[in-house]
Amino acid sequence: MDSTGGNAGGVSLDHPQPPPTTQSSHGSSANGIARDGLHSAAENERCDDREEDQEADEEDEDDDLCEDVRGELADILSSDLEFTGAFSFNRAYPTAPNPSLNIDGLGTVGLPLSIRDAAAIKQCAEQAPFGMADRTIVDKSVRDTWEIDATKVHFMNAAWAPFMAQTVRDVCEVLGVNFQASQPRCELYKLLLYETGSHFLPHVDTEKVNGMFATIVVVLPSWFAGGAVRVAHGELSETYDNSANSLTTTSVLAWYTDVEHEVKHITAGYRLALSFNLIHTTSALRPALSPQNGVAARLRQVLLSWKEGESQDEAPAKLIYLLDHKYSQAALRGSALKGADAHLVALLDNIGRPHGFRLGLASLTCTERGSGNDYGGGCGYGRRGRYGRYGWGYSEDEDEDEDDVSMGEVEDTEISIKHLVDLDGKLIREDLDYELETEVIPDEVAEAITSGAYDEQEYEGYMGNYGGSLERFYRRTVLVIWPQWANFDIMHGANGLSYACDKLRTSTSLQPTPEESELANLVLTRASASHCTAIITSLCRVALTWRNLSLWKQAVHRCDATRSIAAFGGGSHIHRAVATFGFQEVKPHLEQALERDPSNVGALQFLDSFEEWVAKQQLPPSMGLTTEWIAAQRTKRFGALKKPPKDEHKPLTALAIKCGGVDFLERNVLPLIETEADSAVLLEYAVYLYREQAVPEETRARMARNLLLASILKLDIYSVSAPTQPASAYSYLRPQLEESKQLERIKPFVKACYDLKCEDLFSKVVSKVVDGASIAKDVLDRRVTQIFLPLIVYAGPMAIGSAVPEMHKLCCLAATQWLSAVTANPRTITATDISSVMQAMVSGGQPGVILTELLPKLETIALDNTLLRTLVQELHTRRAVLDPAGQNIQTVITRLLKRWASTITLASPTYGAYYGAAHAGRSKPTIDALEFCFSVNTPDACTFILTRLLNPPKLDGKYVQEQLAPLVPELRAFLVKHRQPLTSPAFAPVFRSIMQLWVQKVMGTRPPDTASAYIQHLQKWGCNCDVCKAVRHFLTSSPNEAQTWARIGAPKRKHVETFLQTYARTIATWAMIRSVPQGLTVTKSKVLLEPSRYAHHQSEGLKLLRSLSTNSSELQGILGSQYARIVALLQGHTPPANASAAAASGSNTNRAIASSTGVARPLAPNGSARALAVAPTPLTPHPGTIPLVAGASRPHVQASQGTQAMSGAGASSSTDQGPPAKRRKTAYDAGEVIDLT
């Protein structure tokens, strides 16, 4: 028998040597265990003696009480408690009997196992599954084993049962289990057959039945190689290899259920094994050390110190200790504990129970959350997977190796403790709160747990730019110990006091029961002011019922019930207390409550109701309760009024008038209120008194004024409230938030000055507002914009009709300070500031400040266009107030508009279309600027804008196309909207300039006609497929230099290239686009490009002209002397020598330029119409197309020439391009042309 590893994790023994007595891995003998057992008969007999000596022991040890209970207990529990057990067992039994196996359906199996019998067993067996979470699955990559259920396996040899009985004792001895106390039962679970290649990956046995605490595996004689068993617990591990003598020897292995183990691959032969469950059958705890040894004495001292620590705030209510083994919820009880855990619990129970200590067990879950490092596939993108501890874990989404996911950075660790039970397994509470710093052992419990293997993990794969999130779960078992004085809180948690109060509140007994006495004492010890209502309605109630004056006084004192009448239980409780114990017993507490009550109204109203109750009771004078005492208490309270809250003024006034009339209110009560109340309360009181009809008008006006004045004098406008969250969260907003609150703080006082007809007190408010000569400049600047100006706007309408000099003072101060701030730093000015200061000056009745103070300074500041526009708008809106005669303000507005026009941006974003069908969302800064000029009744300012528009830094064709041309229809629509003629002196020159610039900058000089011969050759391209047609149209008509046909595919690309090679190789180039599918780019030469572009611009120019007007007379009026020249060039004519004269002579012709069809229908002098065609251009004879096939038009050079048709029959069949073909003139009727010259 070979054994690897010599640590304390397991025991390896060779039979037939006698079982070791002093050579266990932990070094203790069985005799030692018996000697130190706490459940021996001798010890039981001595229990009574110990109980008698207990009080003496505690008194002797009081002087040695420790201060750090948790630290001392942690030190003891981490030391050697002389536990002798191991976590695993391995022993060879060469002389073990043959069990004479009999399998249902097969019969007797011979041993050592033969190949024949092994094959027969396989026929009766099933592939062994394994458990994963709540599933049972078969996966041979994880577990490759055959199994037969125990119900089908029988032992025919009578000697087998005694052998197994002794084996169980051997296992218990080594594992440290007290056989006599536990009385374990050994049950067959499965017959297992391992063949070559069989194995079982690392796993932990589940507790298959209640009470199961260990597994025993009996390996029967059969020859095999490999199959070593590795066991591990924490950092300890052992490997047991029983293959050397496997043919003739029976080997027994055992381990606790939470020990991780695996079976290595069988490399040859068959391994036949019996698997047994070892089960506790009693509720006894395992024996522990004798309390007479040093460790026990030290432990007793710590527990006694803890027992006496109830009065010490630092004493923990409980301690939680991490056990070595893990136990399922089903096995969470003292009788299921194993090894050192059982030893420890028995020791603590034996020493602690006589002193009132309780023990419990609970399940701890430690959850780590962080980012996962996915080295394999994990769960993939965006998937979630749930895995067990081991690499063969099952995933809901896919079976991928979870070992490829490791924990990256841990972002959060959380520990929860649940399902607290007593040692009998009875539930105490489901959730257990704890203090990690003071109640848990060891100190770094999270690190201790996560340093080991996790039990389960959940991984969510990568999501876009974010790494996958990983959660790992570590499950452990903890021991909970607490003293008797904390038992109630442990049992009931945070609701313990409420539970006790509820029980007492529903009590109907006239004398306390033992349970009620215990509850009363418990409530008394935990009573505090925060529980006052609960104490009064429960403990004080039963104290009255039981007529227990001492208990009642203690309860009143402990919950501080005399701090107010309401806390004292109000009239009903006080009345009952007086009736039960007599007034003299209650009087000191009642007087204290009346004196301390913060509510004046509450105390005084109680005295009224108490006086009524006393009158009804007809109490004897001997009780000392007289109306004189009540009157004296009322006078005392009125003479020492507390700071009244906001809602007391109405009832307090009524009580004062009832007590002594209006004079008493004015002379005695209000002076005290003025002294005690804060500014806001005084203000509300003043407003209330002004409307109080029970007080004469003159008197209430006087009292209200005095209260208002007192409230203003107490007003602290600029007090800063404490932040409600960390400053970093919104520190940049705090100044604005404070000023906003301060403004709202001022407004009610301003309103009250006018509502109460105390306008003169407004000066006091203004003084409070402007008070702050020593404050920082930036604070003053903020106050001007956030407080001064809004306050002027708020107060202005109320001041109309009142002579309030302070308003003028406030307006001037605000304007001066604001100008000082913005002059020093113009970049701080906002449009809102300008609007606010304008509105403030007007609302405050000081519009002259705008003209005399604000405008002169603002005109010296370099304002941006937004601020200038706001300033102009504000002046225009308020022009009637600022300048009723209209003599000065218009000049200022015009001057400011000129500045504004020089700063605004007039260029529009370009979208490819440059007139007519412009982009729907195209911004129109020029039109917007013109609209603004009209909106402020200053249309002459449009000249400034239009002048800038026509004089850009770079005036080229692109600017004309993208900026000026789109303005033509927009300007026309603008003029129509405002009912202005197109011939307006301000706008007609703009139209004229744009059309001239189109002809000069966009069209330019007509290019020579070099394209005709090449286009004639393109006629031979006879294919009319979609791509060929598109390419031909591009070559002959498009103004673009290059065009792309994407993803047309290789066949079409090659097809087009064949025709390009044949008919356009000298006038175009082309290139393949290497995409899938392939594409094609064609680029034409200047021979075709320049004529087509000219024709395109010529056609677009005509459309531009039509967008301006289709009436020739109107166009002549707009274009003036340039009319004839512009029209001639757009129509493809040579401009006349004297364009001006021609334009003048044709000014009376009533003709319309064609719309989009290119056809005009002028009216003849006699009113009849005849169709006229626009004169053809070289490339656009009628609709502007270049001829592609016979009968189509083509370009030419001379404007006087017509177009020639190219017939297919006259074309050369040669693939080479020859000289240009002869052209024939196509006649047209000159009378059909619009002659605008």
Q: pLDDT by residue (tens digit) across 963-993? A: 999 999 999 999 999 999 999 999 999 999 9
Q: Alpha helix (H) ranges present in 176-291?
A: 179-182
Q: What does the pLDDT read at residue 485?
A: 82
Q: What average pLDDT score do residues 905-909 get?
A: 87
Q: What average pLDDT score do residues 691-703 get?
A: 90
Q: What average pLDDT score do residues 479-502 get?
A: 84
Q: Which of 36-50, 307-321, 324-338 has the lowest mean pLDDT?
A: 36-50
Q: What average pLDDT score do residues 995-1016 get?
A: 89
Give dist(CA 869, CA 900) in Å, integer.
Answer: 7
How big is the CA angle at 896 (ends 894 and 900), to the nearest 5 degrees? 115
Amino acid letter, 813: L
Give dist(CA 323, CA 342) in Å, integer.
Answer: 10
Q: What average pLDDT score do residues 1110-1139 get?
A: 87
Q: CB–CB of 434/318 below 8 Å?
A: yes
Instruction: State yes or no: pLDDT of 244 exceeds 50.
Output: yes
The gap between the terminal CA atoms of the chain, to the nearest Å, is 124
Give dist(CA 1237, CA 1235) in Å, integer.
Answer: 6
pLDDT band at 216 (very low <50, low <70, confident <90, very high): very high
In 3D space, the residue among 239, 204, 165 whose CA is nearest the CA of residue 12 turns out to be 239
Q: CB–CB of 1069/1057 below 8 Å?
A: no
Q: What does the pLDDT read at residue 554?
A: 92
pLDDT band at 1224 (very low <50, low <70, confident <90, very high): very low
Q: What does the pLDDT read at residue 963?
A: 93
Q: From residue 280, give the alpha-carbon distance in Å to each of 108, 209, 336, 458.
A: 32, 10, 7, 35
Q: What does the pLDDT read at residue 245?
A: 92
Instruction: State yes or no: pLDDT of 496 exceeds 90.
Output: no
Q: Output phi, psi for 793, to 5 deg.
A: -60, -40
In 3D space, the residue among 814, 827, 806, 808 whose CA is nearest the CA of residue 782 turns out to be 814
Question: Domain 88-279 adopts which CATH fold?
Answer: Jelly Rolls (2.60.120)
420 pairs with which residues across the strands?
Answer: 429
pLDDT band at 1146 (very low <50, low <70, confident <90, very high): very low
Give dist(CA 543, CA 148) in Å, integer.
Answer: 71
Instruction: State yes or no: pLDDT of 91 exceeds 70.
Output: yes
Helical axes 496-505 vs 514-526, angle rounded to 10°: 130
DSSP letters spanning 1040-1066: -SEEEETT--HHHHHHHHHHHHHH-TT
Instruction: State yes or no: pLDDT of 886 exceeds 80.
Output: no
Q: What does the pLDDT read at residue 1150?
A: 32
Give dist(CA 547, CA 525) in Å, integer.
Answer: 20
pLDDT in tens, 826-857: 888 888 888 888 888 888 888 888 888 888 98
How big is the CA angle at 1225 (ends 1223 and 1229), to the nearest 5 degrees? 165
In 3D space, the residue among 445, 206, 424 whose CA is nearest the CA of residue 328 turns out to be 206
Give the tokens for residue 52.
């008698």
pLDDT band at 1001 (very low <50, low <70, confident <90, very high): very high
pLDDT band at 867 (very low <50, low <70, confident <90, very high): very high
Q: What does the pLDDT read at residue 802?
A: 65
**Domain boundaries defined on the chain:** 88-279, 329-490, 494-618, 641-714, 906-979, 1005-1237
Q: What average pLDDT score do residues 734-745 get?
A: 79
Give dist(CA 434, CA 511) in Å, integer.
Answer: 37
User: Which residue matches tokens 């023990």?
Assistant: 359
Mean pLDDT for all residues in the chain: 79
Give the tokens for residue 509.
């007994």
Give dist(CA 241, CA 239) in Å, integer.
Answer: 7
Q: What does the pLDDT read at residue 463?
A: 56
Instruction: State yes or no: pLDDT of 706 exceeds 80.
Output: yes
Q: Output phi, psi for 902, to 5 deg.
A: -85, -10
pLDDT band at 258 (very low <50, low <70, confident <90, very high): confident
Residue 1092 class from Cβ within 10 Å (0-12 exposed, 13-18 middle, 19+ buried)? buried
In 3D space, the residue among 1223, 1067, 1205, 1193 whose CA is nearest the CA of residue 1132 turns out to be 1193
Q: What average pLDDT score do residues 1192-1206 get?
A: 33
Give dist(CA 182, CA 386) in Å, integer.
Answer: 38
Instruction: State yes or no: pLDDT of 1201 exceeds 70.
Output: no
Q: Which of 496-500, 945-949, 1125-1129 has the lowest mean pLDDT?
A: 496-500
pLDDT band at 243 (very low <50, low <70, confident <90, very high): very high
pLDDT band at 265 (very low <50, low <70, confident <90, very high): very high
Q: What average pLDDT score do residues 133-144 get?
A: 81
Helical axes 805-824 vs 762-770, angle rounded to 10°: 20
Counted residue by residue, the chain has a size of 1237
Q: What does the pLDDT read at residue 773?
A: 54
Q: What average pLDDT score do residues 1156-1173 get?
A: 31
In 3D space, the residue among 362, 379, 377 whose CA is nearest the CA of residue 471 turns out to be 379
Q: From residue 1175, give the alpha-carbon distance in Å to each of 1038, 1152, 1183.
A: 21, 14, 11
Can the peptide bond before residue 1077 be classed as cis, meaning omega within 30 degrees of 0?
yes
Q: What average pLDDT score do residues 924-940 get?
A: 93
pLDDT band at 83 (very low <50, low <70, confident <90, very high): low
Q: Output phi, psi for 719, to 5 deg.
A: -70, 140
Give dist(CA 1222, CA 1011) in Å, integer.
Answer: 14
Q: What does the pLDDT read at residue 312?
A: 58
Q: Which of 196-200, 310-314, 387-391, 675-679 has the lowest mean pLDDT?
A: 387-391
Q: What average pLDDT score do residues 732-751 get?
A: 80
Q: Alpha helix (H) ranges present in 903-954?
A: 925-935, 942-949
Instruction: State yes or no: pLDDT of 2 exceeds 50.
Output: no
Q: What average pLDDT score do residues 516-538 get?
A: 86
pLDDT band at 17 (very low <50, low <70, confident <90, very high): very low
- If one compares 881 and 911, the residue with the highest pLDDT of the two is 881
Give dist(CA 942, CA 1118) in Å, integer.
Answer: 18
Give dist(CA 93, CA 74) in Å, integer.
Answer: 42
pLDDT band at 311 (very low <50, low <70, confident <90, very high): low
pLDDT band at 1234 (very low <50, low <70, confident <90, very high): very low
Percent of the chain, pLDDT > 90? 38
In 3D space, the residue among 142, 150, 143, 155 whose CA is nearest the CA of residue 125 turns out to be 150
SS3 of 178, please?
Answer: coil
pLDDT in tens, 24-57: 333 333 333 233 333 333 344 444 444 444 444 5
- If one compares 441 and 384, the residue with the highest pLDDT of the two is 441
pLDDT in tens, 197-214: 999 999 888 778 877 889
